[in-house]
Chain A
Amino acid sequence: MALSGLDIYKLLPKTNCKECGFPTCLAFAMKLSQKGAELSACPYVSDEAKAALEAASSPPIRLITIGTGENKIVVGNEVVLFRHEKTFYHEPGLVVRVADSWEPEKIAEVVSQVDGYVVERVGMKLTLNGIAVENVSGDAARFVQAVQLVKQKTALPLVLMSANAAAMDAALQIVGPDKPLVYAATPENWQAYADLAKKYACPLAITDSGDLSRLGSLAEAVIKAGVADLVLDPGTRNLADSLASLTQLRRLALKKNLRLLGFPILAFAGGDDSTLEEQSILATELIAKYAGIVVLGRFDPTGIYPLLTFRQNIYTDPQKPIQVSPGMYKFGEPGEQSPLLITTNFSLTYFTVAGEVEGSGVPSWLVIADSEGMSVLTAWAAGKFDAEKIAKSVKSAGMDDKLGHRKLVIPGYVATLSGEVEEELPGWQILVGPREAVDIPSYLKTVWKAA
């Protein structure tokens, strides 16, 4: 938790000696709180104050890296409970579980599909993030074979799941350099697992299917044994209990500054016996409410696409809304006589308009102007959606040979621009569309037809 300038001031010598380069200790404290100065500039600061300030400046939820290279999963460092307060920073890793008890062909098939899964939304490529290999067989040799097979098929990060320390050690001998997540230390086996995590320098998950005090005790033991990079599995598996435990862990880290439990959370969204619907519902909750790693019990493209979309939505920075790429968008199979509409590239504006145009069933062309991510009215007021911009966007969309007409529908909120746009686009007829997107279908079916 960041300290305020006054909190910092209380820790300083309060002698106003000016040796730090600031006129008073208070001014120095204020600058420190804004990260505009370094504490080392004060020659007289006490060790106690140093420790307090260092603790306050380290993140309340530790940043953890699983895997290496460009595919690595990086989670933690979250600072808020609600995304509108700032933003959620690190998207949870979505990991698909395979069992070493499966036939090798089945393991290879699932891993290849997970590895190759990519869908595109608003110009971003959405992918899955890793494979969890579970030692269901209990057999070390079989586990090692499965891990080897997975490693051949993908460069995605791994979660190694085994209750058998010997099996874990054997697997880590192969993939330890790839920094998999070791799952998991329990109150019974933690010493051996802490040793493995240290030996291979891998992050370690800890779990206790009891309460958070016991999880805290386990964290303390493992940290004292020298493991710094932890991931927490509170052991809750159903919707209501997971929501409660994940909310409590987030609050403990952020509001109570409890360093022992200030780590990303791993959670399971269903096992072998869950339906696709159950898995989707639980994973949706876990993405919204604080998971750092979500382990999916099954892979099914139909279920993956909504989850990747939801994760992208929730982790969008509320202060920097997604912008849609400017250009020409088609709805249905528009032809020469199809309507041509224009709006701005604020994502919500685009989605609202696109949804209505799509829903109208009238094949249409839609030009998206670069309004720097502003909605129609805001962009108009800011001069980012004026006659010149509209004309330029239409010209650069290259509609000349695609259209048999020269009619452009502009948003009703900028009706006042229609004359200017006609001047900018000689030979074009400018039609004023509805103010609200919801009226677009009716506009296209009646006014456009008659025009």
Chain B
Amino acid sequence: MPVTVELPKEKWNGKVREITLGATPAQGGTRTSTVTVGGETTLPFLHFEGSIPHRPALAVEMQDVPPQDWSTTLLEAWDTAASDPVSWAKKAVELGADALAVKLRGTHPERQNRSAAEAAETVKAILGAVGVPLIVYGPEVAEKDNEVLVAVAEAAAGERLALGNCEDKNYRTIVAGALAHGHLVVAKTPIDVNLAKQLNILISDMGLPLDRVLMDPTTGALGYGIEYTYSVMERLRLAALMGDSMTQQPMICTVGEESWRQKESKVKDGVPSLWGDFAGRGPLWEMATAMALLQSGADILVLRHPKTIKTMRETIDKLMSS
């Protein structure tokens, strides 16, 4: 006797907020393309159940100064492009970046200690060279972050940059800069649902609309705590779909930075031979981290290796076709 199986569908009441990075000339910026993420009314890629209006976006991480501590696998892949931020930005866009994640490492007090004004010039130069939206990170030192990001916010007024990172101990100045000059912020919390909600509330209390806040739940790389990130993201996304407003921000994951920090990606010699080929290991480590976090709700992946960019683009094509 034929069996009839009714396919189970969940009825979700909530929806992830739609957020647009970048502004075209008509919108007050100079971008030739913008990126919209969010808007999901179901879990990742379950097209049979709800709407997934926007594909997850790929942001390529780059720096204002040549990286000092990156894996040789990465340095070889970017080669001379990494010696200058403008050439790096152009190369990343050629390779398929939907957006750029610009790390202003050169402003770090223990690095080149570049001034806020110099950093703003660098961002202007990148904006002039490419048409994609930018996510801009300071040196990740609270005081200098504030100084640098406010200068960048002012110099790039109207561009709808995403400014990062806002953290619970340091968010006011960055949020104020975003508010004053028409930008977005990245709200980063340490792998915790309640802390993520709380920071979204604090930022929203300052008057920044929630459609200008991206949420970074903190990425643990494959083998280095990915299960914590994976589950916190699943919990955040389930809460969002169940209607909890303060969890409905699209999620951004710094996949490249975390997976390329690890021994597997950085150390060539003196490791077990069954770890396999060194040149292939780092990109695969990054791809697996990216794939796992796509499955738990990532809306923006920040990546480092050109191969990962290509593979994740093809992967998202496949996941979005149904």
| A binding-site residues for B, Cβ under 8 Å | 82-84, 117-121, 211-217, 219-220, 238-241, 243-244, 247-248, 251-252, 255-256, 258, 260-261, 276-278, 280-281, 284-285, 288-289, 300-307, 309-310, 313-314, 316, 318, 347-348, 351-352, 354-355, 358-359, 361, 438, 442, 445-446
B274 and A313 within 8 A (CB): no
Contacts of B272 in A (CB 8 A): 119-120
**What residue of chain B has the Cβ atom nearest to residue A243's Cβ?**
B45
1/0 per residue B284-322: CB within 8 Å of A?
Answer: 110110011001100000000001000100010011111
Q: What B residues does A213 contact at CB under 8 A?
A: 2-5
CA A306 – CA B221 in complex, angstroms? 11
Q: Are A313 and B222 in contact (CB under 8 A)?
A: yes
Known pairs A260-B3, A277-B284 / 18 extra A-B pairs, C-beta < 8 Å:
A83-B227, A83-B231, A212-B5, A214-B2, A240-B318, A243-B295, A276-B284, A277-B287, A281-B287, A300-B276, A303-B284, A305-B264, A305-B281, A314-B230, A351-B224, A355-B224, A358-B262, A361-B69
Cα distance, A144 to B146, chains bound together (Å):
70
CB distance from A389 to the nearest CB of B (A): 23
A240-B47, A240-B320, A256-B8 are contacts. A348–B292 as well, Cβ < 8 Å?
no
Cross-chain pairs A/B with CB under 8 angstroms, 21 sampled: A83-B234, A84-B231, A119-B272, A217-B1, A219-B3, A243-B45, A243-B46, A247-B43, A252-B8, A260-B5, A280-B287, A280-B291, A281-B315, A302-B275, A302-B276, A302-B280, A303-B280, A305-B274, A313-B222, A347-B225, A352-B224
Establish whether residues B47 and A306, one from each chain, have CB atoms under 8 Å apart when the complex forms.
no
Residue of B nearest to A224 (CB): B1
Beta-carbon contact of A305 and B275 below 8 Å: yes
A355 x B222 contact (CB < 8 A): no
Bound-state Cα–Cα, A119 to B262, Å? 16
For window 7-53 of B, CB contacts with A under 8 Å fall at: 7-8, 43-48
B140 within 8 A of A: yes
Chain A proximity of B73: nearest CB distance (Å): 12
Chain B residue numbers with a CB within 8 Å of A277 are 283-284, 287, 307, 311
Q: Say which residue of A244, A310, A442 sits within 8 Å of B226 (CB atoms).
A: A310
Candidate in A261, A306, A348, A438 with the most chain B CB atoms within 10 angstroms: A306
- The reply to whether the CB of B205 lies closer than 8 angstroms to some CB of chain A is no
Q: Which 5 A-B pairs have the closest CB atoms?
A: A302-B276, A216-B3, A301-B276, A351-B224, A251-B8
Chain B residues within 8 Å of chain A by Cβ, number: 63
Count of CB-CB pairs between chains A and B under 8 Å: 179
Asked whether, in the complex, the Cβ of B322 is within 8 Å of the Cβ of A240, the reply is yes
B315 partner residues in chain A, CB cutoff 8 A: 239, 281
CA distance A219 to B261 in the complex (A): 47
Contacts A300-B276, A301-B274, A358-B263 given: A313-B227 contact, CB under 8 Å?
yes
Task: State which of B5, B220, B295 has its C-beta within 8 Å of the C-beta of A351.
Answer: B220
What separation, in Å, do the CA atoms of A256 and B264 have in the docked complex?
42
Assembled-state Cα–Cα distance A445/B110 (Å): 9
Question: Quick check: is B228 within 8 A (CB to CB) of the other chain?
Answer: yes
B238 is an interface residue with CB less than 8 A from chain A: yes
Q: Which of A280, A285, A446 contacts B295 (CB 8 A)?
A: A285
Interface status of B277 (Cβ within 8 A of chain A):
yes
Q: Is the CB of B225 within 8 A of A252?
A: no
